[in-house]
Amino acid sequence: MQGQEHSESELLQIRRDKLNTMVARGIDPFGGRFDTTHQPGALRRDFQPDLEVKVAGRVTARRTMGKAVFFDLSDITGRIQCYVNKKEIGDEAFELLTELVDIGDWLGVSGKTFVTKTGEPSVHTETLQVMSKALRPLPDKWHGVTDREIKYRQRYLDLISNERSRDTFVQRSLMVAEIRRFLQDRGFLEVETPMMQDVPGGAAATPFETFFKALNMAMYLRIAPELFLKRLLVGGFTKIFELNRNFRNEGLSRRHNPEFTMLEAYWAFSDFEQMADLVESMVCHLAEKFCGGLLIEHKDDEGNVTRTINLQRPWRRAPYKELIKGVAGEGWFELSLEDKKAKCAELGVEVSAGMVDYEVSQQVFEKLIEEKSFDPLFVTHVPAELVPLAKQNKADGSVVDVYELVINGQEISPGYSELNDPIVQRERLEHQAGEETQKVDEEFLLALEYGMPSAGGIGIGIDRLVMMLTGAESIRDVVLFPQLKKR
């Protein structure tokens, strides 16, 4: 809060004066229970005339015409217009509405529905109740909030004033609910595993560290739930999923928020190809339900289509190495490290000095394939170095049985045939730990020794999936409160 030594600005003072006047007149400015029959948007969408209704919402517009007033009540569902006639409602209530209520206040209204002569579904107001007095003015009624910083730091103002933001977040909520339903319908049980972990595993990101006083030990916010979900496979949960937050202590970008929502699902006795089918059908199901079909159009603020993503099945599946050869030449994998780097310069792919062989190839993949693939692409036969938790391919041990699903120029979902051989798993984790000075999760390896059923597993980055389906250009447009630097 700001200091009180400065006098309040005029706008704020006027609203406080109105608040005080309400109190002086015995009106509670902060309401109480009000049993609504409809939400504003729902009432307008499924409108019927001559219905006694009670609605509540924020006053987002007011048109005063002498002895009659029109005002809009809004919430996340939409808006409904209310009409007030001075003669009918009485001087006291009319004055409350025109002199003490501001745009931004929350009101509860009872009355009968009707249609005005301009065809607007409306409520003919009989009673008014103040549910909350707003002490600060709302953003511009026409442009809304456009300042990115305000949109993100004060998301409520964005939601109040920007329909597109409201739509995106409502859609996200419905999509997440639908994903849960989709999996539950197929026999998957939702589980919750620790977000505070002793050994942060299941991915290779830098974790956030915290401290647990009671046990006098360092702990980490999870970077993935994978190693705990696999313990549950050992325990006999053969179809499970978890849909919740991961935390990675890395840079912010249009595609990265340090806490992001991940779906992980495991299906015992399955493999990566069956998991690919599952993801394909799930994403298509969501697109048909929420986007009206399998062609997803991304639009700019003017409504021009900027990109069309075609989700029609079957989705393309291609081996990692073939894709790289396609952009870097048939002989790519026979080139020495130096020649690969030289070729990268030719191709306009930046590589850093310390990169080893497979990292250079991965860089080519990311810049020339991933970032340019908008229609779905399952990348298969990925080098084993990149994925220590998946089964090696029986015919070619240098690659693993996984897919990496790319849509909209981003990795949306990996899927594995999960490695369940405890001896091989130990070797691969210790090899990786040696390279990156990571701890090995001994409790996980212990669990594997009791027998983890062979299984397919997937991860789906929910934020990126929602970006793809809603056409959001930044992850900050699909995360309600994205991480920002402290002001």
Partner RNA sequence: GCGUGGGUAGCUCAGCGGUAGAGCAGUUGGCUUUUAACCAAUUGGUCCUGGGUUCGAUCCCCAGCCCACGCACCA
Residue 289 host element (H or E): helix 272-290
- The neighbour count for residue 433, using CB atoms within 10 Å, is 15
- Please tell me whether residue 338 binds RNA under the rule CB under 7 A: no
- Please tell me whether residue 298 binds RNA under the rule CB under 7 A: no
Q: Which of residues 9-38 bind RNA (CB under 7 A)?
A: 9-11, 14
Binding mask 93-112 for RNA (x = CB under 7 A): ---------xx---------
**Out of 20, 37, 146, 274, the residue judged to bind RNA by CB under 7 A:** 146
**Out of 27, 68, 176, 440, the residue judged to bind RNA by CB under 7 A:** 68
Strands across the sheet containing 196-197 = 196-197, 217-221, 209-212
Give me the residues paired with residue 121 across strands. 115
- Please tell me whether residue 442 binds RNA under the rule CB under 7 A: no
- Please tell me whether residue 317 binds RNA under the rule CB under 7 A: no
Residue 464 host element (H or E): helix 462-470
Q: Which is nearer to RNA, 375 or 473 (CB)?
A: 473
Tell me the CA end-to-end span of the chain in Å, nearest whole number. 13
* Per rule CB under 7 A, count of chain residues that contact RNA: 74
Q: Which is nearer to RNA, 216 or 352 (CB)?
A: 352
- Please tell me whether residue 392 binds RNA under the rule CB under 7 A: no
Q: Using an 8 Å Cβ cutoff, are 127 and 109 in contact?
A: yes
From CA 67, how far away is CA 85, in angstroms rounded?
A: 6
Amino acid sitting at position 389 = L
List Cβ neighbours of 219 (8 Å cut-off, separation of 6 or more).
196, 197, 198, 209, 210, 211, 212
The span of 203-211, 213-221, 265-273, 281-289 binding RNA (CB under 7 A) equals 203-211
The span of 33-41, 78-86, 182-190, 284-292 binding RNA (CB under 7 A) equals 78-86
- Please tell me whether residue 78 binds RNA under the rule CB under 7 A: no
Instruction: Work out how close the CB of 33 gets to RNA at its nearest, in angstroms, rounded to a whole number.
Output: 28
Q: What's 453's DSSP letter?
A: P
**Out of 53, 76, 120, 440, the residue judged to bind RNA by CB under 7 A:** 120
DSSP line for 79-146:
EEEEEEEHHHH-HHHHHIIIII--TT-EEEEEEEEEE-TT--EEEEEEEEEEEE--SSPPSPTTT---
| Backbone angles phi and psi of 359, in degrees to 5 | -70, -35
DSSP line for 165-190:
HHHHHHHHHHHHHHHHHHHHHTTPEE
Q: Which of residues 466-485 bind RNA (CB under 7 A)?
A: 473-474, 476, 482, 484-485
- Please tell me whether residue 65 binds RNA under the rule CB under 7 A: yes
Instruction: Work out how close the CB of 203 gets to RNA at its nearest, in angstroms, rounded to a whole number.
Output: 4
- Please tell me whether residue 152 binds RNA under the rule CB under 7 A: yes
Q: Using an 8 Å Cβ cutoff, are 101 and 108 in contact?
A: no
Q: Which is nearer to RNA, 287 or 419 (CB)?
A: 419
The span of 37-45, 136-144, 376-384, 395-403 binding RNA (CB under 7 A) equals 136-144
**Out of 19, 56, 74, 83, the residue judged to bind RNA by CB under 7 A:** 83
Q: Which of residues 342-371 bind RNA (CB under 7 A)?
A: 350, 352, 366
Instruction: Work out how close the CB of 334 gets to RNA at its nearest, in angstroms, rounded to a whole number.
Output: 25
Q: Which of residues 393-412 bind RNA (CB under 7 A)?
A: 411
Q: Which of residues 233-272 bind RNA (CB under 7 A)?
A: 248, 250-254, 256
Amino acid sitting at position 91 = D
- Please tell me whether residue 4 binds RNA under the rule CB under 7 A: no
- Please tell me whether residue 86 binds RNA under the rule CB under 7 A: yes
Of 289, 266, 280, nearest to 407 by C-alpha is: 280
- Please tell me whether residue 138 binds RNA under the rule CB under 7 A: yes
- Please tell me whether residue 67 binds RNA under the rule CB under 7 A: yes
